[in-house]
């Protein structure tokens, strides 16, 4: 098992699985990891598109995410702003989470297992096909970063919460969703994609327990990974009454192959940290 996965909740989950193996034949399965380059993909899926190994390149096929039809792109790209965001560190009290700083960290040892909570309002019909789904975070170079990588993954929030009322001790419960991990260090791309496809796919069932997406780190470093928080609400503007971010905003984009597609350059700053990126059809 990769050293990145020998800490935190993954280690606990593996320990429980191994302990129960004698009773139910349960095995510890290593969490899949998002790719960063084509060299990390097997020959049968030799192209890394938006962090996922997909057929393409030498295989002569087009990844589903870039599928084209007679009238243009088949898959739509949606970028959605959150309706609420909270960043919690061990010991944080009420309202500390809603005071989102311009710079927040994940995976820093001194933060005691910091977690990012996000909630989105996305009207999805049951017949919608979720091709890909990512949480976008904008990595910041404003602070020094330990060269050791940090592995991040998303979990499903299953309790109601509000950034104005939540604290470290009252944070909502989460459930694992088998989402792939993203390995991040100081040399990673500015735009960091966290896999949330298995979480968003559940939203099609309109289950009331779905209350957002949490991002946690597996293992820590001295500095963690700093991210920029860029809210939709302009600085100095009126604060929305119910949360620390503006009401939901959905921007629809059709990616062009000549612009590098979803794995190309980072989108404009106003779309970053955090945003939900969906590819649907």
pLDDT digits (tens, 9 = 90+) for 130-157: 999 999 999 888 888 888 999 999 999 9
Q: In this structure, are strands 275-280 and 84-88 parallel, antiparallel, or unpaired?
A: unpaired
Which residue is associated with the tokens 């097997």? 42
pLDDT, position 144: 81
In which residue ranges of the chain is pLDDT below 50? 1-27, 233-267, 269-270
Q: What is the pLDDT of residue 249?
A: 38
* Long-range contacts of 256-263, Cβ-Cβ distance < 8 Å, separation of 24 or more: 257/66, 261/49, 261/50, 261/65, 261/66, 262/49, 262/50, 262/65, 262/66, 262/77, 262/132, 263/48, 263/49, 263/50, 263/51
């Amino acid at each position: 098992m990769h050293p990145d996965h020998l800490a935190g909740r993954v280690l606990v989950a593996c320990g429980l699985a191994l302990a129960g193996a004698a009773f139910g034949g349960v095995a510890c399965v290593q969490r899949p990891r998002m790719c960063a380059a084509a060299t990390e993909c097997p020959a049968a899926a030799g192209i890394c598109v938006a962090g996922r190994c997909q057929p393409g390149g030498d295989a002569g096929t087009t990844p589903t995410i870039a599928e084209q039809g007679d009238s243009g792109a088949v898959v739509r790209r949606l970028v959605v702003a959150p309706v609420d965001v909270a960043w919690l560190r061990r010991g944080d009290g009420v309202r500390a989470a809603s005071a989102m700083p311009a710079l927040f960290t994940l995976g820093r040892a001194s933060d005691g297992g910091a977690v990012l909570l996000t909630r989105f309002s996305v009207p999805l019909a049951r017949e919608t096909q979720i091709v890909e789904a990512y949480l976008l975070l904008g990595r910041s170079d404003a602070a020094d970063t330990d060269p050791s990588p940090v592995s991040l993954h998303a979990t499903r929030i299953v309790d109601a919460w509000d950034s104005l009322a939540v604290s470290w001790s009252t944070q909502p419960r989460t459930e694992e969703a088998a989402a792939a991990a993203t390995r991040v260090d100081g040399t990673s791309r500015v735009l960091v994609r966290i896999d949330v496809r298995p979480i968003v796919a559940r939203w099609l069932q309109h289950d009331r327990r779905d209350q957002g997406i949490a991002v946690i780190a597996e293992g820590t470093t001295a500095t963690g990974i700093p991210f920029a928080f860029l809210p939709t609400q302009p600085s100095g503007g009126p604060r929305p009454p119910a949360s620390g971010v503006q009401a939901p905003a959905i921007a629809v984009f059709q990616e062009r192959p000549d612009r590098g597609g979803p794995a190309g350059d980072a989108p404009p700053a106003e779309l970053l940290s955090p945003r939900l990126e969906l590819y649907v059809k």
